[in-house]
Structure formats: structure tokens, C-alpha cells
Structure 1
Amino acid sequence: MRKTLTVVAVLAVLAVIGVGVTQFLESQDGIDGGTGGGQPGESDTAAPPAQPDWCPRVEVISAPGTWESAADDDPLNPTANPHSFMLSVSNPLKEAYAPEDVKVWTLPYTAQFKNINAQQEMSYDDSRNEGTARLETELRDTHASCPATQFLLTGFSQGAVIVGDVADKIGGGTGAIPADNVAGVAIVADGRRENGVGINPGFDLGGVGAEIALQPVSGLVQGIVPGATMRGPREFGFGSLADRTYQICAPNDSICDAPRDALNGLDRARGLIEANGVHAMYASNTGVIADTTANQWLVDWARQKIDQI
């Protein structure tokens, strides 16, 4: 049984890792609204900062999954992994819009996880923390310079966990930017997915994200995969972003649709192993969302959002 628990924990962790306003605000000269002159030292309320002409109307954030990104990758022209699932979403958007109108930015981070078969890699926790910090820096910096720019946040697998965590803090009022600047969030195969949290555009699911299923035995996971903390549900349930956050998950994907009793018995171990391949098939699996694939749904969703802004 202990061997079975070990196999299940390693498999689940491995896979886990694996609108708004867009008008330009014009600055205004101070004007005395009264009939007489203003008093010495008196000035009008400062106008909101203007949106510079060079700012994009929308910025699309794309967060790749494990082994699909690198810390030194070019966020505007990523080449770390030409087979990255998220490239099948970001490239069509780059082709559809002028870069000065819609900026497509791919998160460059060390998308790795240290485990018994890859001792030289960065731990899951460190990799996730690095990705989160870089994503939040990009959001803060862009918002500081371009206060009217709207964001679309997307990600896959480990990237979905990162984007989901960042969106959860924004929706809870403690994030990098105001929630009003987020036009939408759509993440695929999120290891912290919960039924009823966010919007499921696909088929009904009975399981939860592997980080939730494995949280009760996080200590066991840490013993096998050091630096891989199973954190359970998110704090805010996406807060004010819950009504514009989409959770895409393939049925039986052991990363986002793991049974809550995933550590109880050999049958669950076999189920997790059989479901392993599902996680790599989102670009071709038509059983996730009716009549389409996950990447095509993301492209259509993003284009609709962009065109509405």
C-alpha cells in the first residue's frame, strides 16, 4: 500500500506541475469653475492620468506549463518550447491583431519541478514562486504606465496554477492590479480547480485539482518530491473575478479532475495512470468542450473579449 501511495503521489504532482474601459483619458488644464478668481494656493482636483498613445488596448498574458517555458525566454517571441500548448493560443492572437493594439506576453519562468527522476531541476514551489513574481511584476509595470489597458489572463497546467493564484488575489482585492482592469481569465488543467468556483464551459466534472486531492497527504508528497507543497483550495474563490474566470478541464485528467479519494486503493492508482495521457491532449481532445478543442475555445474567447473592449 505504501508503494501504491508513493506512485500515486508522484504521478499527481508530476501532472499538476506539468469590459471594460479602453477609451483614452485626456488630461485637462486646470479651470476655475467659479465666477471669481481662485484663492492663492488653490488648485483644481488633478485629472486621472492619461493613457499614452503607445499603450496597448489589451494585453494577453499566456503562462505555459511545465517544460514549456524558460527564465530567459523572450516574452514577446517565445522559443523555449516550440511544442508548447499555449503557443497554439498565443500565436493565432498575435496574427490577428497589431502588436501596438494587442500585446501578447508569454510568461518566462523556470517551468520545472524537482523530483526523484530530476534532482537537478528547480523545485515546484520555487518554480511556481518565480513565475508568480514575474507575472505580477509585468501586471504592475504595465498598469503603472498604461492605466486603461485591459488584461486577459490565460495559462496551462503549472501556468494555470500560477495565473489562477494571481487572479485569486486580484479578485480578493489584494492583487497586483485592480480587478476592473481584468477583462477575463481562462485557465486549462488547473491543479487547484474546484467545482463551482469560476465557470466551467465544458462537461460536468466529479473530481478536483490534484493539489486539493493531495493536500491531506502533503507531508508524504514532500517526502517524495521535496519542495512540492499541496496547498488545497484558493483563499478567495476568485472573488470579484469569479464571474469572468473560466476553468477548462478534461474529464479524467488527474491534474484537474482527480478523485478526492485518490490515495485510497489500487483502483485509484490505475485510474490516475490511465488518465495521465489526457493531460497532454488538450489541443486535439474534443471531449473537453462540446464541438471544439480547448485551444480553439481559448482563441475564440479571447478574440470575442478583445473585440468587445
Structure 2
Amino acid sequence: MAASAGGASADGCGRGGAVVVAGTQAPRDSDGARSGGVAGVGNRYAAQGYRVTYVEYPTNLWPLGPISYNDDVAVGKAATERAIIDYQSRCPGRPVVVAGYSQGARVAGDVLSDAANGRSKPMRVNGRMRTVRTAGLSGELYSDPRRDGRGRSAGVENTLIGLIPGILMSGPRDGGFGSVPVTQVCVRGDGVCDVPDPLADPIGAVDGLAGYWVKHGYYPARMGRAPSTWGQTRCVQQGTTRDCVVEQRSSLGTLTGRIPQVGAAVGPVVTRVVDRRVVADLPEHVRLSTLRPLVGAGPDSSSGDLGVEVRVGRPDLLHAELSQRVGSENRIEAGLGAGPVGVSVGGPTIDARRAGDVVLNPSNLMGRGAPDNAVLRQQTPTEQPTVEVRRAAEAGGPVRTV
């Protein structure tokens, strides 16, 4: 963990603690802290006298990174819990705010929900087994993919189903944030935190997914100020959760408006179509997300055997497949075939859901000097990846492995 003191105090605690979690592929600052995209919120709390800690975790997203999103989130959660517990054990009675952006909001939100609902697992910190305490705990989540929004619009992990291996759409957090006060901030139409249900609102869903490229980068330059000062922000109190939505125009309208020569005329038309679209009045239980259990994900996807497989193409022509299994067998495979002949590449993975006291990934993804962790070290794959070439003995015949 990399920390920066936000205010002078004899005990090094400051007025409180701020644990800040960056998003996917977040760069490091000149001090080596993983603060890319979230430095604004860290600086804001440092200016208020808080002791700021930037959580150290890989922030990688498979296949662009060496581990899967699911495993990355699990490692991030454990590192965030450790940062909170460390501060709470050293500075009892001081407030702790946990802030995160994008994937970091997923991590921070899961930690807050687990603490509020008694799911936090004890870990040894400063010589004792401890858990995250909810007294004085609060949260700030920016573009949370598990945001529990208003109506049929919510975070992408609550709206869609998991079809990409390593990225299971986990659904809403069981129990929400309980009594822990949390402010969640989302730009209208951001494809991470505001995706309408595709069955009832297909145009809105497409516009929301397009918003990832148009709107998802809106937050970092503004986190240095309180969300209420951003302008065009409407906040609604939902229990202890304050849901703040920043109103913006259609993403599709913005994209088409950038088309050379015709954009100025086409963009406003597309915006009007999106704004005036008809949303189907479907029964509450008729949602795309109701299919989530069919692809292996349940609440928090925290136990059991999970499997996701994606196949593209025609079996008799060119086809590709990608799959991941987690649980009693932990393996990821990719295959490419042309007619009866195909090549499959696969290898073992870890089930980071079972890591318990995870601190760091065993392959030193966190840089030199990363301490070992016995739990993850025991799960580190020792089997080498395998390559299989499959062919049919004859047209329409059984497939043999050679």
C-alpha cells in the first residue's frame, strides 16, 4: 500500500483515514502509488487532514492483463480490507471513508457491503485477527458497475449477464450497504454505472453501452470537488445511500454529432430519437438479468462451481470458443477451428474467491518486494498450459485428440 499524510498529527492518523481504490489499468504516480484517475478524491481528503492510502492491487483486466477481472477484484477487496483494518487498529475512533472509481468502485462497494452485512472475513493485521468495523465507516463510489440505480437502469453488472470468461456479472450486492452511509455518483448514460435493461429499453441500453467511450472518463478531473458542485447533478436519498446522477445528453447523439460534414445535422436528430424512445412496461421479473443463474453467477458469485462458455461461428465452418471454469476445477481455455479441425489452448487459473486472507498476487504483479502470501501461493498453478489439436476421423465422425 502507498500512503500520503494529509495532515500533521502526533500519532500519524490525521483527522481520519481515506482508502482510495483506482480503476482498471490505473497508472502509478511519481511516488509509485496506484492513484491514476483517483488522485482528485485523494487530494480532496488530504486537504481536509485525512491520512490517504491508495490501495495496491494489479488493476488488470484479462485478456489485456495477466489475471481475470474476477481474480483482480478479489485481490483488490482483500487489499482494501487490509488497508481499512490497519488504519482502524492504529487509529481507533477516527472516521474512515472508502472511495473508488470504476473497477475500484466495484472493489470498494463490495468491501462496504460485506462489512455492513457481516460478511467481512477476519484477517491478521498488526498481530491480531480483525475485521472491518462499520463504526465511522462511509463510502464514495464513482461509476460503480454494481450500482443499484433507479427504476430499470443500474450498473452494468446488475443489468447484463456474464458471457465473457473471467468477467462474471455479479448482480446487486446482497443487503446493499446496510447502515453504512454511501454516496454513489453516476453520469447519465455511462456504460459502466447506468445501463437500462435491454429487454424493456433496447435503445437506452445501446446508448448506455456507447456511453462507456463518451462519458466514463468524465469523473477523474472532477473528483477534487464534492459531487454536489459538479452542476446538473440530482441526488436522491435511498435509505443510507445517496444516489447522485449527473444529467448529460445521449451518447449516441454525441458520437453521431462528431461525424464529419453530417454530424451537425444528424447528432440532434439521434438525440431526439433517444430522448423520446418508448420503454416497454414489462413485469418486474422480466429482465435480462433474470437469466444470470443460467450462466453460473449468483449473488456475489462467492461460492460453488461457476462456468462460462462463449462460442462464435458455425461448427462446420470457421468457429471460435472461449471458456472459464471456477470451483472444483479452475481452468481457462480458448479454441479456434475450421470445419473438423481445431486448436485449443488452455491453462490453470486460481479461484481467488477462496483466497480468504489474500493480500497480493503470488506472481509479484504488484512489483518488486511484494510479500509472499501462503494462501495464494498454495493456489498458484504448477501445471503447464496445454495445446490440443482435434480432428475428425472422417466427415461426421467422432473427434480424436492427437
TM over 0.5: same fold? yes
Residue 218 of structure 2 corresponds to residue 281 of structure 1:
yes
Residue 58 of structure 2 corresponds to residue 110 of structure 1:
yes
Distance 1:259 1:267 in 2: 6
Q: Which residue of 2 aligns with 1:65?
A: 23
State the Cα RMSD in Å.
3.2
SS of the residue corresponding to residue 209 of structure 2 reads helix
Q: Do the aligned partners of residues 255 and 263 (structure 1) sit closer, same or farther apart at CA in structure 2, a change above 3 Å counting?
A: farther
- In the TM superposition, what are the counterparts of 1:69-108 in structure 2 within 5 Å? 77-80=31-34, 84-97=36-49, 102-108=50-56
TM-score, normalising length: structure 1: 0.60
Question: Contact between 2:189 and 2:207, CA under 8 Å: does it hold in 1?
Answer: no
Aligned-pair CA distance for 1:91: 2.2
Identity %: 25
Unpaired runs of 5+ residues, structure 2, are 1-9, 121-130, 236-402
Question: Contact between 1:284 and 1:293, CA under 8 Å: does it hold in 2?
Answer: no
- In the TM superposition, what are the counterparts of 1:239-258 in structure 2 within 5 Å? 239-241=178-180, 244-258=181-195
Aligned-pair CA distance for 1:136: 0.8
Match of 2:132 among 177, 200, 221: 177
Residue 145 of structure 2 corresponds to residue 191 of structure 1:
yes
Distance 1:135 1:272 in 2: 28
Match of 1:210 among 123, 145, 156: 156
Instruction: Describe the superposition over 1:49-106 as per-residue Cα deviations: whole angstroms up to 9, x where unpaired.
Output: xxx9444430011111111157xx89xx44456xx22112212433453xxxx21011
SS of the residue corresponding to residue 53 of structure 2 reads strand
Distance 1:180 1:160 in 2: 20
SS of the residue corresponding to residue 167 of structure 1 reads helix
1:87 counterpart letter in structure 2: A
Q: Do the aligned partners of residues 267 and 135 (structure 1) sit closer, same or farther apart at CA in structure 2, a change above 3 Å counting?
A: closer
Higher percent of residues as helix:
1
Question: Contact between 2:195 and 2:204, CA under 8 Å: does it hold in 1?
Answer: no
Q: Which residue of 2 aligns with 1:228?
A: 167
Q: Do the aligned partners of residues 69 and 138 (structure 1) sit closer, same or farther apart at CA in structure 2, a change above 3 Å counting?
A: farther
Q: Do the aligned partners of residues 109 and 231 (structure 1) sit closer, same or farther apart at CA in structure 2, a change above 3 Å counting?
A: same
Unpaired runs of 5+ residues, structure 1, are 1-51, 197-204, 298-309
Q: Which residue of 2 aligns with 1:292?
A: 230
Q: Do the aligned partners of residues 140 and 283 (structure 1) sit closer, same or farther apart at CA in structure 2, a change above 3 Å counting?
A: closer
Distance 1:285 1:56 in 2: 24
Aligned-pair CA distance for 1:253: 0.5
Q: Which residue of 2 aligns with 1:47?
A: none
Q: Which residue of 2 aligns with 1:9?
A: none
Higher percent of residues as strand:
2
Instruction: Describe the superposition over 1:152-172 as per-residue Cα deviations: whole angstroms up to 9, x where unpaired.
Output: 111100000101000001111
1:154 counterpart letter in structure 2: A
